[in-house]
Chains A and B, each alone.
Chain A
Amino acid sequence: MTSTRRTFLVGAAAAGAGSLLVGPGRFGRALAQEAGTLAFAAAGTVTSSWDPSSHTVAPQITAEGFVFSHLTKCPMTPENPAEVLPDLALEWKLIDPHTLEYKLRQGVKFHDGKDFKAEDVKATYEYASQPSRPASAWYPGQVEVEIVDDYTVRLRTEKFGYPALNFWYLSSFLPVLSAADVANPDLLKQRPNGTGAFRYEETRGDQIIFKAYDHYHDGRPKIDTVVWNYVPDANTRVLGLLNGQYHLAERLEPEQYASLKAEAAITTNRGLSSENKYLHFRCNKPPFDDVRVRMAAVHAIDRDQVLAIVGEAGQASNCHLSPVKFGYTDVPNYPKYDPEACQRLLAEAGFPGGQGLPELEYITSVGFYPKTREYGELVTALLQEQGFPVKLTTLEPAAWEERLYRRADGQGPGHIVDVGWITGSPEPDLVLRPNYHSKYALINGIADPEIDAALDKERNAASTEERLKVLQEEALPLLAAKVPSISLFSSVFLRAMSKRLEGVYFYPNGPIDLSKATLG
């Protein structure tokens, strides 16, 4: 062995220098992206399957929004939440309570070149509504699709026992797949193939590349390429926007949004979402199996103070539905902050001043929704003030999600759980049935025959007018009276983008319409 200090140091220096040469990079690349390329800083990313029926993941629904079209479009504005516009279907009508007919657009092609026809609608609807599909919870049940001709289909629900009207709004949410892909599940998983404004090009690590689709039925988009960058840290998204690496950043914190408002080169966007933030009570175990204790807790919470903490990221609403949902109304009996009522109800339930209540655990997350820890501490203090022995448990999202839903034995951890519920259609049952019908009650475990009856009644209504009436006059007031959960506020999505980006439409559940956008 003849090594010396000199040879060792020379070798070490060479190894260090060699490591600098790794990678394809070179110094001095411009910060700006290529012309016509939009760099999107996304807070989330997709699953490993591109089959839209395989997941309920919000970021993937946003990604699918670039690639897939739907039969209809619902802009979901607070002014007109029930508005339905044509997309792949040009006309639609209810033939009878169990049959909904769509006339389809002609001359549309999938990204792989296949012509869009009625067979694709049949394959998509019959496949996605199968109870075995992971995303089937979005749909009221199975559906049969009759092909009248190549460009006319009829959705039939009679065999499955619910009205076809339930698909009225859901048709703006279910991405239309190619029948050839549905027949080949492996291909369906590998890449998305739709008729939307952008086609999927490739995935490079945490980047997904979409290219403008030349034959898009509403005209080729002006933006050539969309690069989806998964950037989990909100500060990094903002800094990337400021230095010009990104053109669009989503899910900003209220403070970031406020500071970006002052930037000359940045436009901010504040949009009411289809998400409400809830506190669910575990209703199938003491003490919240008693409606009086639930109502007492709700009367202890001052939602105005909660909103003051949430700031720009929230909007007041007195309803278990978001204002962009069909059926939303300012529910007259929605519980308000009322410490006296709280004390009275606690005493009636046998817990005067909170005495005798077990220790209660309030579970919330940090790092996904804005300000959950901050308002969690406030709500805990408000409940403690009225005598509820509450302990706040703050968990990072993966651990929180693991504790969120009820388990095999029907019980869920803790007593109060904070969660947001976001869905991409005005359809109210996407919120109401999974959360409040005893068949599901995924989080709170409520089993109340009156609530079940009201939810079944609104679902089975023969017309939208009748359904609206049942929702607003029966189902929603009943939920406000029984409070299996309390909706604290409606979420507002905070985004920011380069001033050069114009003509973007943001859907309230996340998807972004860039088909008419320009990047000056």
Chain B
Amino acid sequence: MAFAFEFFLRRLSQGVVIVVLVAFVIFTLLRVVPGDPIRIILGPMTPASVLEETARALGLRDPILVQFGRFMGEVATGDLGRSFIRGLQGGSAGGSQDVAGYSPESRASVAGLIATALPYSLQLAGLGVAFALLVAFPIGIAAGLRAGRWPDRLGLYASSFFVSLPNIWVAVVLIFLLSAKAGLLPAIGYQGFAYTIIPAMVLAIELSPVMIRAISVAVAANLGEAYYDAGIVRGLSRRTMVARHVLRNAAVPLLNLFGAQMIGMLLGGLFVVEYIFSYPGIGMLTISAVFQRDFPVIQAVAILASGVLVAINMLVDFASTMIDRRLKF
């Protein structure tokens, strides 16, 4: 228990620093790239004086550090702010607005927008990872068990093939073949679980190469360890050694891979895939927010993403340490 307490205390304090740094970088970058959100909030026909007045009232003309301090203060109280662009019903919107009638309260809360979109993204990510595991486990384990032989080469070719397919292209081809031509599955938007299947396939194709290589390398490495030969010499069957020892010991690098690489890839993949499929998750919300210069949404998603990455890495490290106490944290 003391171990767990010390572990989480240290890692949480490190994690908070990372999240604040990421938030600051995103916050600063958004304010130095071209594109003033006030022109999108109030519209191109709005007189320049009104633009400036409203921008000042919203705090958009304060020094960046002041804006950031105010923002983090609100985040600390659990308030992620309100969208610059989207109305209370959550519909994406842009362009001219009624200056006299504009008030931040007439816009959707960012936390609400994220809460609405997140379950869709979790569903898509979960199914994508499940599909990727379904593909990667058999190929990766077979490749690891028969290193240098044809299953190994199959694993190499399969992962090389998948990794060289751009997800945008895969998405368009799969929609065209499975939905437009064969009529097997719906693809655009979301009206039910079936709408998640083709996007999840695209995610799986993106994720599986890394998984295949990691599984095959980890399994092959464990087969070369002394404990494997010792087990065989002591009369355990190869099947037992693989099922009970090799796969378990191979789990540690796989868990680390999941924390370090897969979550990042998954988040990046979700942004592209959701946009192409008009899938109403976090990725679509974020891409729209970037196009519309909806700063509060972009900032909140960046904080959420870095928080998730930190948390997953922390949990993975904790799990790895629990599995193998020789590991340091």
Give residues in A with beta carbon < 8 Å to B.
1, 3, 5, 8-9, 16-17, 19-20, 22-29, 31, 44-49, 51, 53-57, 59-60, 132-135, 137, 185, 189, 202-208, 229-233, 235-236, 239-240, 242-246, 395-399, 401-405, 407-408, 442
**B152-211 CB contacts (< 8 Å) to partner A:** 172, 175-176, 179-180, 183, 185-196
Given A8-B322, A27-B194, are A45 and B91 neighbors across the interface (CB < 8 Å)?
A: yes
Given A31-B186, A403-B34, are A22 and B98 neighbors across the interface (CB < 8 Å)?
A: no
**B286-327 CB contacts (< 8 Å) to partner A:** 287-288, 291-293, 319, 322-323
Contacts across chains A and B counted by CB atoms under 8 Å: 224
A395 cross-chain contacts in B, Cβ below 8 A: 34-35
- Contact status B322-A48, CB under 8 Å: no
Which residue from chain B places its CB closest to the CB of A24 in the assembled complex? Answer: B192
Q: Is B278 an interface residue when CB atoms closer than 8 A count as contact?
A: yes
- Contact status B193-A26, CB under 8 Å: yes
- Apart from A49-B87, A405-B44, 20 more pairs, CB < 8 Å: A1-B3, A5-B322, A8-B322, A20-B126, A20-B130, A25-B195, A47-B95, A47-B96, A48-B93, A55-B98, A56-B43, A60-B95, A185-B101, A205-B91, A230-B91, A232-B278, A232-B291, A239-B180, A242-B179, A403-B34
Contact with A along B271-290 (1 / 0, CB 8 A): 00001111010000001100
- Contact status B278-A229, CB under 8 Å: yes
Tell me, in angstroms, the Cα distance from A56 to B92 when the chains sit together.
16
Question: Which of A16, A23, A134: most chain B CB closer than 10 A?
Answer: A134
B127 cross-chain contacts in A, Cβ below 8 A: 20
Q: Is B90 an interface residue when CB atoms closer than 8 A count as contact?
A: yes
22 A-B residue pairings within 8 Å (CB atoms): A1-B1, A1-B322, A19-B123, A25-B192, A25-B193, A26-B192, A31-B185, A45-B92, A47-B87, A47-B94, A47-B97, A51-B98, A53-B98, A134-B43, A189-B101, A205-B91, A205-B280, A206-B280, A235-B276, A245-B189, A397-B291, A408-B48
Q: Is B11 an interface residue when CB atoms closer than 8 A count as contact?
A: no
Stretch at the interface among B18-26, B114-122, B141-149: B114-122
A189 cross-chain contacts in B, Cβ below 8 A: 98, 101, 106
A31 cross-chain contacts in B, Cβ below 8 A: 179, 183, 185-186
- Contact status B96-A25, CB under 8 Å: no
B219 cross-chain contacts in A, Cβ below 8 A: none
Question: Which of A3, A5, A442: most chain B CB closer than 10 A?
Answer: A5
- Contact status A48-B33, CB under 8 Å: no
**B76-123 CB contacts (< 8 Å) to partner A:** 85-101, 106-107, 116, 119-120, 122-123
Tell me, in angstroms, the Cα distance from A48 to B248 when the chains sit together.
54
Q: How large is the interface on B (under 10, 10 to 19, 20 to 34, 35 or more residues)?
A: 35 or more
A401 to chain B, nearest CB (A): 6
A56 cross-chain contacts in B, Cβ below 8 A: 43-45, 95-96
Give 5 nearest A-B pairs by CB, closest first.
Answer: A48-B87, A25-B192, A54-B98, A57-B95, A408-B48
B92 cross-chain contacts in A, Cβ below 8 A: 45, 205-206, 230
Which residue from chain B places its CB closest to the CB of A56 in the assembled complex? Answer: B96
A45 cross-chain contacts in B, Cβ below 8 A: 91-94
- Contact status B193-A27, CB under 8 Å: yes
Other-chain residue from B3, B85, B187 in contact with A243 (beta carbon distance below 8 A)? B187
A411 to chain B, nearest CB (A): 11
B58 to chain A, nearest CB (A): 15
A49 cross-chain contacts in B, Cβ below 8 A: 87, 97-98, 101, 106
- Contact status B86-A48, CB under 8 Å: yes
Q: Is B262 an interface residue when CB atoms closer than 8 A count as contact?
A: no
A205 cross-chain contacts in B, Cβ below 8 A: 89-92, 116, 280
Give residues in B with beta carbon < 8 Å to A.
1, 3-4, 33-36, 39-40, 42-46, 48-49, 51-52, 85-101, 106-107, 116, 119-120, 122-123, 125-127, 129-130, 172, 175-176, 179-180, 183, 185-196, 248, 251, 275-278, 280, 287-288, 291-293, 319, 322-323
Tell me, in angstroms, the Cα distance from A235 to B169 when the chains sit together.
11
- Contact status B39-A135, CB under 8 Å: no
- Contact status B33-A240, CB under 8 Å: no
- Contact status A134-B280, CB under 8 Å: no
Tell me, in angstroms, the Cα distance from A19 to B124 when the chains sit together.
9
Question: Which of A231, A397, A401: most chain B CB closer than 10 A?
Answer: A401
Tell me, in angstroms, the Cα distance from A57 to B92 when the chains sit together.
13
- Contact status B126-A231, CB under 8 Å: no
A59 cross-chain contacts in B, Cβ below 8 A: 95
Other-chain residue from B43, B101, B129, B175 in contact with A16 (beta carbon distance below 8 A)? B129
Tell me, in angstroms, the Cα distance from A239 to B174 when the chains sit together.
10
B17 to chain A, nearest CB (A): 26
B206 to chain A, nearest CB (A): 18
B98 cross-chain contacts in A, Cβ below 8 A: 49, 51, 53-55, 133-134, 189
- Contact status B52-A408, CB under 8 Å: yes
A12 to chain B, nearest CB (A): 8
Which residue from chain B places its CB closest to the CB of A33 in the assembled complex? Answer: B191
Which residue from chain A places its CB closest to the CB of B123 in the assembled complex? Answer: A22
B39 to chain A, nearest CB (A): 5
B175 cross-chain contacts in A, Cβ below 8 A: 239, 243
- Contact status A399-B33, CB under 8 Å: yes
A185 cross-chain contacts in B, Cβ below 8 A: 101
B35 cross-chain contacts in A, Cβ below 8 A: 395, 398-399, 402
- Contact status B86-A398, CB under 8 Å: no
A22 cross-chain contacts in B, Cβ below 8 A: 119-120, 122-123
B36 cross-chain contacts in A, Cβ below 8 A: 402
Tell me, in angstroms, the Cα distance from A208 to B93 when the chains sit together.
12
B287 cross-chain contacts in A, Cβ below 8 A: 232
- Contact status A402-B123, CB under 8 Å: no
B275 cross-chain contacts in A, Cβ below 8 A: 232-233
- Contact status B87-A29, CB under 8 Å: no
- Contact status A236-B129, CB under 8 Å: no
- Contact status A16-B33, CB under 8 Å: no
Other-chain residue from A17, A55, A239, A408 in contact with B172 (beta carbon distance below 8 A)? A239
Tell me, in angstroms, the Cα distance from A60 to B97 when the chains sit together.
11
Other-chain residue from A29, A60, A243 in contact with B191 (beta carbon distance below 8 A)? A29
Which residue from chain B places its CB closest to the CB of A21 in the assembled complex? Answer: B123
- Contact status A48-B291, CB under 8 Å: no
Which residue from chain A places its CB closest to the CB of B51 in the assembled complex? Answer: A408
A232 cross-chain contacts in B, Cβ below 8 A: 275, 278, 287-288, 291
Which residue from chain A places its CB closest to the CB of B200 in the assembled complex? Answer: A20
Tell me, in angstroms, the Cα distance from A403 to B293 when the chains sit together.
14
Question: Which of B35, B85, B292: most chain A CB closer than 10 A?
Answer: B35
